[in-house]
Amino acid sequence: MMIQMHNMGEVETFLINLPKKLDKELSKTNKNFMVQVLKGAKKRAPKDTGGLKESIKLKPVRRGKNVKKWKIVVGSPHALFQEEGFTPHSFFAGNTFNSKKLPGGVTYFVSKWTPFMKPAVEEQIKTFSEKLNNAVDKAIKGRLK
């Protein structure tokens, strides 16, 4: 018995071009996700001088035209302690202490920290899988036209 398939040209074209379209849509979804996480982290970052917030940046993992991976970099030395916590402690703020809220020349006791990155990721991750599915649907439907 012999089976013959006809008019496979369209299917072949669809299969050849699908990865490119999928790649484009998924990359776009990834970047949008990271941008929303960045914005959420900036909104949640505790604010005094604004240095922590300004240090939160989105960067490509690899430079070039078709960037696939992104990372959020937080440059402030205080970021890790705000995110993960610290042992409550006191410190003396010298007269040149750089703060808009706390005057210098005073001893302070700090015990409270404000995570900003993990809550931002948790908020956006809720809808991420749905957005990935939508991106795949869009890529497939785009090729079927």
Partner 1 sequence: MASTISKESMIPDIWKNFYDIAKTVTTVSITGPQIITIQNYVSSFPDQLIDSKSDYPILVVNDPDAPTEILTIGKTKVNGSIELEIYTTSGESASKFLSKIIYAIETSAKSLAEVGIKNIEVADTSQDSVKRSFKLHSRSVTFDFTYHYARTGGF
Residues that bind partner 1 (CB under 8 A): 28-29, 32, 36, 39-40, 43-44, 47, 50, 53, 120, 123-124, 127, 131
By C-beta, is 84 or 123 nearer to partner 1?
Answer: 123
Minimum CB separation from partner 1 for residue 88, in Å?
22
10 Å Cβ neighbour count for 139? 19
Minimum CB separation from partner 1 for residue 138, in Å?
9
Minimum CB separation from partner 1 for residue 136, in Å?
14
118 vs 38, 42, 83, 101, CA distance in Å?
11, 12, 8, 25
Strands 56-60 and 70-74: antiparallel
Which residues lie across from 62 on neighbouring strands? none
Minimum CB separation from partner 1 for residue 20, in Å?
13
By C-beta, is 79 or 135 nearer to partner 1?
Answer: 135
**Cβ 47 vs Cβ 76: under 8 Å:** no
By C-beta, is 11 or 102 nearer to partner 1?
Answer: 102
By C-beta, is 17 or 90 nearer to partner 1?
Answer: 17
CB within 8 A of 29, min separation 6: which ones? 131, 132, 134, 135
By C-beta, is 39 or 78 nearer to partner 1?
Answer: 39
Minimum CB separation from partner 1 for residue 29, in Å?
8
User: Which helix (H) or strand (E) segment is 101 a member of?
Assistant: none
